[in-house]
Structure 1
Amino acid sequence: MRRRLLPLALVGLLWVGSLPQIADCSGDPLVRQGTELMRNGEFSAALDILHQAAKRQPDPQSIDGLLGQAYIGFGFQLLEAAKYAEAEQAFAEAVDYRSDDPRPWQGQAIANLHQGRNVAAEAALQEALGLTPQDPVLYQLLGRAKYASGDMAGAVSALRQAVDLGSASARDMLAKVEAEWQLEQGMQRDFSSVFQLSYADDGQSELAGSILAVLEDAYADLGAELDFYPEIKVPVLLYTRKEFERVTASPDWAGAVYDGKIRIPIGGLKRMIPELRALLYHEYAHVVIRFLGKGRVPTWLNEGYAELAGRRQHHLDLDELDRAVAAARLLPWDRLNKGFNGLSKEQVLLAYQQSYSFCLFLVDQFGWHLFRDLIVALASGADLAAAFTSAYGDYGLTWQQLQNTWRDSL
């Protein structure tokens, strides 16, 4: 099960509206043109014009402030478009022109967090705090970065500072992190090249080693299929069922959760079994979709892919789907785009099986490379119909035609 993550870009975008008043610093018509483009939010075009203007200024540094503002505005526009690597580069350029402005560092931090580069995000936020040490937004982001990297004590400290400086929005996150930290302080920790596993020290060390091995298998297998190997560290936590319910507040049908960390209610299990192996593949698949799809993949497609990954490790019947097909009561895809909450238990089972069946159909009929193209198209901001056309248009197939062909195959 995939849970919605903190909308980091929205935190950063609050700064776009606070750009200082843009003032012409020269009689140069190019400078005036660049300034007007910035006022209209056309930052990329403004950068082209302002760089031309800088070349003919007696003192090119006289328009550094404008160039810095243009790079900042462009960086936040790229963040909003989920172009995180490009945004990071724009903010890095802005630092060169506005070295005393914390916003480029804040922007770099947000871009890095979206890419799972938590250590780089922390470093950027420390630079920003060196310029504005009393900014609660920066401390809240620092808490988020430390939380994502597993530094719970550091996360609590940063979030407390944000609250002390007046951030009301940091209070809920602080309460959540403190509750999790209380549980995690007594946990053992094991590491692999990609995963950081925390678990209670009650005879689970052998199982912990097996879990890390299976997750590494998932990293290799799913990476090979989609040609995508995210360079991140993924926290994984094992809980009792009661701890899991307290930490995640998940519906009772949830077998695990990925919310930036993989959380699994392991109970008293002591050894690897096929069901657990499937669950680990399923949850790691959500990690893949988060970073490849940049948070823009509809829930049913996310869950369908995760089911596809997991069911190859442990086969399950499709009884609910078979009954729905026979009774002509398949769930509408529009209903499944936003999530499965609010569905009955039977409908939840159907939602997972229906989503799995459609993803299996896509991969079996057209291959992994086009499935990857679909995810990348969604990541670029295309709507669902446009993304399907982008990926499968060479076959002359639209989103609606693919639905029809899939239904006919059932």
Structure 2
Amino acid sequence: MPDRRALLLALLLYAGTALAADPLTYGAKAQQLIAKGDFVQAIEELKAATSRFPYDQELKHQLAFTYSELAKRDLQAGRYAQAAENFRQSHELIPDSKELVLMHGIALYLNKDYAAARSELLQAGEGSEPLVYLGKISYDTGDLPGALELWRRAKELDPANKVLAGLIEKAERELPVESRMDKGYSSMFDLSFDAELPPGLSGQVLDALESAYNTVGSDLGRFPTTRIPVLLYTKKDYSSVTAGPDWSGGLYDGKIRLPVGGLTEVTPQLRAIIFHEFTHVLVAELTHGNVPTWFNEGLAEIEGRKLFAPKLPPLTGAADKHLLPLADLSRGFSGMGGAQAWMAYQQSFSMTSFMVQRYGWYAVQEILKHLGERADMNKAVSKALADYALDLDGVMREWRESLPAAGQGSEGQ
């Protein structure tokens, strides 16, 4: 009898081992993990399976799919470097997939790894999408004619693409002005400027940009590693290129654009604008565009007003009925008239300055980090200010309570 029990136990152990070694078992377990959203653990399970069964194509494709799904989640969360690495891993498993080459290239572009992105996108075929992103790389790195050529080729393949038509229209508006510009460079900035501008002004602008890089970078905890394009225009050219509102003193749309016509040197006001626009560069890198306008502009105003504070009446409790709704301030300001735009900037500065003074720059950096992970503003504030048990409504309530009574305001509040 003991021999029969020992034999039965041995058979059961063998069956368990055989079952664990079955590719279908690994695949089923990985599917359960994927269904729960646990892609990382599913990848570990499938990597173990493919090392055991290196010739099982189903397991290999399942692993590639899981890497790809994890990469897509990384893209949505703004984790571009991780997304690029996971798309690379997926492509190594399915080397013939043009779609994976394309997605790898897009992730590299979003991470501003332009050389690697161009190399991948050139292998992604002649579809319109690779051409669009190759054009974006050319545009971002200052090759406007090259960008136009690529986008026009893409338009031939996808004539109904309205976004592409907008890119072409914008580039065609900029080309006549930029084609006659001179160039200047510093450690992190590529400067293009109208040849008619006074000699020496471009060098002073570069010095101010380098100063902004260090000062604003310290406040926001971000120091870009990709070169930043900056363009200096006459006022007439600035209006024709940007089509911005009359009250605009500068613009950041992936490139810093500044109207400097009539200036012979960098004034305190221009230096403030340079710091303001450079702040937008960092906020864009940190949040990937997921930021309400009031917070973006408020931070930029804080940095600019350190250098040049306009003589403006402070907000007070008596102005409460004139305050703009937060929903309006979360959208762009460019469609506003001058008076409303002044109120939008002043209120944005007041709210954001209060947050910095009350909770500190580290809390602001945390808010920006959570926005970069695709949290909405309320959730980003709640996470960053968890120690204060505050959400966005609570912060706005504290800000309103901080406003001085009429006649008691101090400049810069």
| TM norm structure 2 | 0.85
Cα distance change of structure 1 residues 388 and 66 upon mapping to structure 2, 3 Å threshold:
same
Does 1:153 pair with 2:142? Answer: no
Please show how residues 81-96 of structure 1 align to structure 2 within 5 Å: 81-96=77-92
Pick aligned residue for 1:165 from 147, 150, 157: 157
What CA distance in whole angstroms lies between the structure 2 residues aligned with 1:341 and 1:182? Answer: 24
1:16-27 matched pairs, under 5 angstroms: none
Letter in 2 for 1:145: I
SS at match of 2:230: strand
2:18 corresponds in structure 1 to none
> Aligned equivalents of 2:397 and 2:35: distance in 1?
47
Task: Identify the match of residue 246 of structure 1 among 235, 240, 244.
Answer: 240
Counterpart of 2:360 (choices 335, 357, 367) is 367
Q: 1:188 to 1:379 in 2, by over 3 A?
A: same
Distance 1:110 1:202, change over 3 A: same
Q: After superposition, where does 1:213-292 map in structure 2 within 5 Å? A: 213-292=207-286
1:237 counterpart SS class: strand
The equivalent position to 1:389 in structure 2, one of 382, 387, 396, is 382
1:171 Cα deviation from its structure 2 partner: 2.9
Deviations 1:258-306 (A, max 9, x none): 0001111222212110110000000000000001122211110000000
Mind listing any 5+ residue stretches in structure 1 that lack a counterpart? 1-25
Identify if the C-alpha distance between structure 1 residues 327 and 396 changes in structure 2 by more than 3 Å, giving closer, same or farther: closer
Provide the C-alpha distance between the structure 1 equivalents of 2:41 and 2:327, rounded to a whole number of angstroms: 37
2:293 to 299, 304, 308: 299
**Larger deviation: 30-39 or 328-337?**
30-39
Could you tell me which of 392, 400, 404 is aligned with 1:399?
Answer: 392
| Structure 1 Cα separation of the partners of residues 318 and 227 of structure 2 | 41
- The 1:60–1:334 alpha-carbon spacing in structure 2 relative to 1, beyond 3 Å, is same
Q: How many angstroms apart in 1 are the aligned matches of 2:247 and 2:105? A: 35
Alignment of 1:30-49 (within 5 A): 30-32=26-28, 34=30, 43-44=39-40, 46-49=42-45
Give the match's secondary structure for 1:198. Answer: strand
3-state DSSP class of the match of 2:310?
coil
Aligned mates of 2:367, 2:23 — CA distance in 1: 49
Name the CA distance, whole Å, in 1 between partners of 2:328 and 2:31.
45
- One-letter amino acid matched to 2:180: G
SS of 2:122's partner is: helix
Other-structure match for 1:348: 341
- Report how far residue 43 of structure 1 moved: 5.0
Measured after TM superposition, the shift of residue 45 of structure 1 is: 5.5
Deviation at 1:404, TM superposition (A): 1.9
| Partner AA of 2:101 in structure 1 | W
Take 2:181 and 2:400, find their aligned partners in 1: how far apart are those partners?
A: 48
User: SS where residue 258 of structure 2 aligns?
Assistant: strand
For residues 320 and 252 of structure 1, the distance between their equivalents in structure 2, rounded to whole angstroms, comes to 24
Q: 1:9 — aligned with what? A: none
Aligned length: 380
- Note the C-alpha offset of 1:88: 1.2
Bigger-Rg structure (1/2): 2
Query: Would you say 1:308 and 2:309 are equivalent positions?
Result: no
Partner of 2:351: 358
Deviation, structure 1 residue 55: 3.2
Q: How far, CA to CA, are the matches of 2:23 and 2:189 in structure 1?
A: 57
User: How many Å separate the matches in 1 of 2:340 and 2:315?
Assistant: 10
Q: Within 5 Å, give how 1:110-189 maps onto structure 2.
A: 110-128=106-124, 132=125, 134-169=126-161, 170-189=164-183
Residue of structure 2 in register with 1:21 after alignment: none
Listed as ranges, the matches of 1:1-80 within 5 Å are 28-32=24-28, 34=30, 43-44=39-40, 46-57=42-53, 59=55, 63-80=59-76
Instruction: Pick closer, same or farther for the CA change 1:103–1:350 going to 2, 3 Å.
Output: same
SS of residue paired to 2:400: helix
Q: Paired residue for 1:109, among 102, 105, 112?
A: 105
1:22 maps to which residue? Answer: none
Contact 1:75 1:107 in 2 (8 A): no
The one-letter code of the counterpart of 1:136 is S
Letter paired with 1:314 = F
- Tell me the equivalent position of 2:94: 98
Structure 2 counterpart of 1:101, one-letter code: S
* In 2: Cα distance, 1:58 partner to 1:90 partner: 20
Q: Deviations over 1:341-390 (max 9, x none)?
A: 44332221111011111111121222211111111122222222221121
- The C-alpha deviation readout for 1:106-125, integer Å capped at 9, x for no partner, is 22332233233333322221
Q: Is the 8 A contact 1:320 1:349 kept in 2?
A: no
Post-superposition offset of 1:95: 2.2
TM, length-normalised to structure 1? 0.86
Q: Percent identity?
A: 35
Give the Cα separation in 2 of the matches to 1:40 and 1:156.
44
Q: Which amino acid aligns with 2:99?
A: R
> Structure 1 residue 81: deviation in Å?
2.0
Of 195-204 and 301-310, more deviation after overlay is shown by 195-204
Counterpart for residue 334 of structure 1: 327
Distance in 2 (alpha carbons) for counterparts of 1:407 and 1:36: 50
C-alpha distance in 2 between matches for 1:287 and 1:218: 11
Unaligned runs of 5+ in 2: 1-21, 404-413
Give the Cα–Cα distance (whole angstroms) in 2 for the partners of residues 116 and 192 of structure 1.
19
Question: Residues of 1 paired with 2:81 and 2:223: CA distance?
Answer: 16
